[in-house]
Chain A
Amino acid sequence: MAKAPKLPVHQILDENGELLKGASVPDMPKEDIVDLFKTILKVRVIDSRMFKMQRQGRIAFYMATQGEEATHVGTAYALKPQDWMFPQYREHGAAFVRGLTLQQFINQIFGNSGDLNKGRQMPMHWGSRNLNLVTISSPLGTQIPQCAGAAYAMKIKKKDSVALAFFGEGTTSEGDFHAGLNFAGVYKAPAIFFCRNNGWAISTPFHRQTAAENIAVKAVAYGIEGVRVDGNDLFAVIDIVRQARERAVKGNGPTLIEALTYRLSSHSTSDDPSAYRSEEKDDGPWKLKEPAVRLRKFLGNQGLWSMKEEQDWEKACEKELLDAIKVAENTPKPEMDALFEDIFDELPWNLREQKNQLITFLKNEGKR
């Protein structure tokens, strides 16, 4: 068996919230560290509330990101506004850092007329052209060659920007992972492939997904840079994404980042992890090293954060969220026209006829 190169795991902030010897916080204002921590806490408040809402039957579906927040919050912070992100579905922290409003996010979940997608997709499929957040689709990995293509377009248009795709370690088994990394490697596209290795693809653990020692080594075969990072260490994530960005815009090609993290939540509201993993044995150790625990300690030690502030902030988040939910619940669903629009730029004859058929039916039913 071929020996894979040893790849170190980049770390700055250890599991006790202490900086590693010789390591330093990436260049960033202190307020930003606090802001990113607050975003992580906010995502938790949202996740917890939305999960309950799904159980109450008020929303159809939800996917939480508990434990993985640093991977996407940190990544979005390290990128520039002109950089494109191709999310998979468990990266809403990145959306908030980039500027998606909570109301937009909640409207998407409700599929109401305030939803940028016009009520066409199930929850957790947000996106915004204005924010360079490519709208999420459910198939796994399709965004990876797409990201390579967008990055190549940036390259030939000589833009100071990169395209980044998020995905999980399960998705690296898809053909599109191979396609995307191979294309990006051949064309030296300014792309970043960010793998959240959270240990679980629904119920399938890492070792049943691949016999490879880790995900980052796969980069070697594509002739691109492969790096590993502690995905629960916000500082290390920011640092490694900045390095990858620098490499990309300088014309030195794409990077595959493997962020080691853990999905503390279930896969989605339709999933029951107790059927395939032990909360104590599997989840337990990761609960101790999740990103919020470390940051809380770090910021506390620096005198930048207190439990009182945390309680106030969580209360404020809860209020903002409940307000947003109220607005979303009272926002009507999109006009029926939205059912037929955007198949093409114009309605062809068959869609015009089918739309009229539906209108007639609805009228007969007294629903229009």
Chain B
Amino acid sequence: MPIMNMIEAINNALHLSFERDPDVVAFGEDSGYYGGVFRATKGLQEKYGTERCFDAPICEQGIAGFAFGLALYGLKPVAEIQFSDYMYPAFDQIVNEIAKSRYRSGGQWPVPMVIRTPYGGGINGGLYHSQSPESFYTHAPGIKIVIPSDPYEAKGLLLASIKDQNPVLFFEPKKIYRSSKADVPTDYYEIPISKARIAKEGSQVTLIGWGAIHHVNMDAAKLAEKEGISVEVIDLRTIIPYDIETLDASVKKTGRCVIVHEAPRTSGFGAELSATLHERNMLHLHAPIQRMTGWDTHYPFSFDYEYYPNPKRILWAIKQTLEF
């Protein structure tokens, strides 16, 4: 099994999709000839031609609207928004059109598609190359949201997203595009959407995260183990619709929970998870669920260490739930 980084795994998934299904097309800013600024679509145009993999004008609302039209007609678009920080011009197309088409037409006009977009901080990107905007889209019923945490996950989840019959926003943690490496089978495989992964079993605290943060959580769990604290680490994988069964079972078992994300705390997805887990597991909890997140500020260029949740900060939150 070859070792791939995340970009190679995503690229491999796209090549497999193109090979298996002639209706799959990929496009975005610089996606065609150049193969994308992160090289996710590398080689697709060369191999499958300009009709199936092509450059888009710099216009995110156009990309989303165009993908809508392709999907309506029966193609399977995999559109790329170059940075999720620049997806807001497409917000109307995503929230008012893509999310609602199936519903508003009584099921006549579903628009299955994938919008891939790099997200997240820790890359010295400042305000406009570091955002984690996933929670904005969680408030629009009708869109699935998937976030992989490593190359193996990225390939399997992307292939499942492309096959899914619903629109999927696929947020890719660009911080670990190249640094995260894993054994990745070259054959086709899917990782089911809406199924979380227990990456490490533990008994005292449940630690929930997704994307690049998952690795920070694993490091935090190691620090905790050194202090004799047993942590169960869950990689959520799918934000919408998330795997409530796995979360409920883990929280019932441990009685404590810390949710970690990069996005600002207020109205971050941790708020939704915390509320839901409290509602469902109140009598099993030994302490209030904690959130360790980005601050309610914009992403600051010069304060990456202070902003981005790190293992020690997460350990601190873990201890708070134990000492409650």
Pick the interface stretch among A144-152, A248-256, A269-277, A280-288.
A144-152
**Inter-chain contact A142/B97, CB cutoff 8 Å:** yes
Given contacts A135-B108, A153-B75, A343-B102, is CB(A179)–CB(B96) below 8 Å?
Answer: no
Query: A128: which of B70, B101, B108 is its contact (CB, 8 Å)?
Result: B108
A-contacting residues, B35-57, CB 8 Å: 51-52, 54, 56-57
Interface residues on B, range: 35 or more
Pick the interface stretch among B59-67, B283-291, B312-320.
B59-67
Residues of B within 8 A of A146 (CB): 65-66, 68-69, 72, 97
Q: How far is the CA of A3 from the CA of B54 in the complex (A)?
A: 34
**Inter-chain contact B66/A183, CB cutoff 8 Å:** yes
Residues of A within 8 A of B67 (CB): 149
Nearest-CB residue, chain A, relative to B97: A142
Q: How far is the CA of A216 from the CA of B102 in the complex (A)?
A: 33
Q: How far is the CA of A350 from the CA of B245 in the complex (A)?
A: 11
Q: Which of A142, A146, A153 has the largest count of B CB atoms less than 10 A from its CB?
A: A146
B-contacting residues, A146-167, CB 8 Å: 146-154, 156-157, 163
Nearest-CB residue, chain B, relative to A150: B69
Query: B52: which of A144, A156, A186 is its contact (CB, 8 Å)?
Result: A156
**Inter-chain contact A182/B103, CB cutoff 8 Å:** no
Q: How far is the CA of A250 from the CA of B21 in the complex (A)?
A: 27
Q: Would you give the 0/1 interface string for B64-89, flagging 1 where the beta carbon is closer than 8 Å to chain A? A: 11111111111101000000000001
Query: Chain A's nearest CB lies how many Å from the CB of B183?
Result: 31
**Inter-chain contact B102/A153, CB cutoff 8 Å:** no
Residues of B within 8 A of A149 (CB): 65-73, 77
Query: A139: which of B66, B70, B97, B194 is its contact (CB, 8 Å)?
Result: B97
Query: A137: which of B61, B64, B77, B104 is its contact (CB, 8 Å)?
Result: B104
Number of interface residues of A (CB under 8 A): 48
Chain A residues proximal to chain B, CB less than 8 Å = 84, 115-118, 120-121, 125, 127-129, 134-135, 137, 139, 142, 144-154, 156-157, 163, 175-176, 178-180, 182-183, 186-187, 338, 341-345, 348-350
Closest 8 CB pairs of A and B: A149-B69, A145-B65, A179-B62, A348-B241, A153-B73, A135-B105, A118-B106, A150-B69
Chosen A-B contacts, 30 in total, with CB atoms closer than 8 Å, are A117-B104, A118-B106, A118-B107, A127-B108, A135-B101, A135-B104, A135-B105, A137-B97, A139-B92, A146-B72, A149-B71, A149-B72, A150-B70, A150-B72, A153-B70, A153-B73, A156-B52, A175-B61, A176-B62, A176-B65, A179-B61, A182-B57, A182-B59, A182-B62, A183-B59, A186-B57, A341-B107, A343-B142, A344-B102, A349-B245
**Inter-chain pairs besides A116-B105, A342-B103, 6 sampled, C-beta below 8 Å:** A120-B104, A134-B72, A137-B104, A176-B65, A180-B62, A183-B66
